[in-house]
Structure 1
């Protein structure tokens, strides 16, 4: 769409390392960066790219599902502009996006002062260990897992990894809805696979125990557990059936 509107577009591919992006901007003299992300787990990396581009005077237009249907995470991360789709992005670029003010010297923590508590950093570093501990506790609490095939065990480990990943991103953004929405969505996916959604409770309980000294993590997990308790029964489940 941007090319059809007369823009010269350099497509750098998916998950371009920020240093490579900045080197390209220095060499190309681009007017703006259009950054798209579909997965919320990429928001910390997107924030780093946004801040780095702005630090050299290049404005950033963002879009994609990761930034929210209303652009809430675009605003949170300090993007210069947000567009819900390609046509809107073309219009926004045509209107002009002011260059960032280099005098401000903005850093990532300026947008997200809650990061000063180091919870995000500490939890991000321990993701692998958290996944292992949750998996161990699930195996102890669900004897049926002993009969799982290798594929089923792999899927379970992936599900746990995604839960920990989304908890980490929710800590980065300090957004309860991001984590609770993912947990209730995961419950629906598990039910569709004929895996009891109640298996999420032991996973969340283990995370709560492991992260009991982290106030924001505790708050996020508590909110997710409440959302899970209040979620409607999956389609096809009798309302009076035991959970």
Structure 2
């Protein structure tokens, strides 16, 4: 077994940046032929390059089209690794892996699926933005041993709760992971997940300790769920009101409307922060929003966005308080 080098990552990054599928597959095959285990290829080469792809769009260096083209190359590389993966050790059970509804980033879930397959688990990957009703049908039809939910953006957190409810009602434990769950288990715990993992290697380790059967997750406080449900129902109206408050006219450039898209993500983030009672989510989102807007020509957007959100959420007391107390006037640069 070998280790990755910076040169391996740079070679793959260069191929992805050119949207050169053949070159990317050649890098992956060279690594596998050289003795690097499939999990290492996925976690130490493909995953960090995909992070770079997202940051290039975030910084304004790349267009949406470039980001999508690069991601398609990463997906092809992951599929190639999956075809070359041979399970190790004894056969395990079956895992259904899905991205929460409104979560369109499927690459992290693909990496987790690949890591679990190397450990002998049978995996069923449902893909991006899976509706809870669809997941429920799979749970009934397949009777998996574990449900794994991936959530990279805050918009998916309320729907991740729906996954957890559906799965634990059937007695099936839930493994949660992804950037939206944060750097520790707090949000996953508060949403009722059975376990949390920081990355694919952590998922492969955590799944070993899951119970065979779990009780249904207890309901969240009614006043909390009612406010979050009302905020989600009024989501578009809240975004519209916040946009009016900023005084920025809607204007799509290269298929983007930066202020509207930023406010859209911000409102989703507030709903997730209220639901998990974790204000750190707002700091993370504020940094992302600030980076996106500054890169697209908005000067000093932080306080304007904060004030617009507080105004637009004035009918939602938990949300307005969360934003007023925890959305920074000057957002940190996101990592």
Q: Provide the TM-score with structure 1 as the length reference.
A: 0.77
Q: Does 1:82 align with 2:224?
A: no
Following superposition, the deviation at residue 213 of structure 1 comes to 4.3
* Counterpart position of 2:140: 26
Residue segments in structure 1 that go unaligned for 5+ positions in a row: 235-243
SS in 2 for 1:35: strand
What is the correspondence of 1:196-207 to structure 2 with a 5 Å cutoff? 196-197=299-300, 199-207=301-309
Which stretch has the larger CA shift, 89-98 or 44-53?
89-98
Q: Does 1:159 align with 2:267?
A: no
Q: Please point out which of 232, 235, 244 is paired with 1:124.
A: 232
Q: Please point out which of 162, 168, 178 is paired with 1:48.
A: 162
Cα contact 1:180–1:223 (8 A) shared by 2: no
Q: Counterparts of 1:151 and 1:108 in 2: how far apart (Å)?
A: 43
* Counterpart position of 1:222: 324
Q: Please point out which of 226, 244, 256 is paired with 1:136.
A: 244
* Counterpart position of 1:241: none
* Counterpart position of 2:171: 57
Q: Counterparts of 1:122 and 1:28 in 2: how far apart (Å)?
A: 33
Check 1:133–1:76 CA distance in 2 against 1; reply closer, same or farther (3 A cut). same
What is the correspondence of 1:2-41 to structure 2 with a 5 Å cutoff? 2-41=116-155
SS in 2 for 1:79: coil
Q: Provide the TM-score with structure 2 as the length reference.
A: 0.58
Cα contact 1:120–1:168 (8 A) shared by 2: yes
Q: Counterparts of 2:154 and 2:242 in 1: how far apart (Å)?
A: 22
- Which stretches of structure 1, 4 residues or longer, exceed 4 Å deviation after superposition? none
Following superposition, the deviation at residue 77 of structure 1 comes to 0.9
Deviations 1:80-119 (A, max 9, x none): 1112222222222234434112xxx54442xx56515x32
Q: Counterparts of 1:57 and 1:115 in 2: how far apart (Å)?
A: 25
SS in 2 for 1:38: coil
Cα contact 1:184–1:228 (8 A) shared by 2: no
Q: Counterparts of 2:202 and 2:118 in 1: how far apart (Å)?
A: 14
Q: How many residues align?
A: 218
Check 1:183–1:15 CA distance in 2 against 1; reply closer, same or farther (3 A cut). same
The structure richer in strand per residue is 2
Q: Counterparts of 1:189 and 1:155 in 2: how far apart (Å)?
A: 7
Following superposition, the deviation at residue 57 of structure 1 comes to 0.9
* Counterpart position of 1:186: 289
Q: Counterparts of 2:310 and 2:136 in 1: how far apart (Å)?
A: 39
Higher relative contact order (CA 8 A, sep 6+): 1
Check 1:87–1:51 CA distance in 2 against 1; reply closer, same or farther (3 A cut). same
Q: Does 1:115 align with 2:229?
A: no
Check 1:93–1:136 CA distance in 2 against 1; reply closer, same or farther (3 A cut). closer
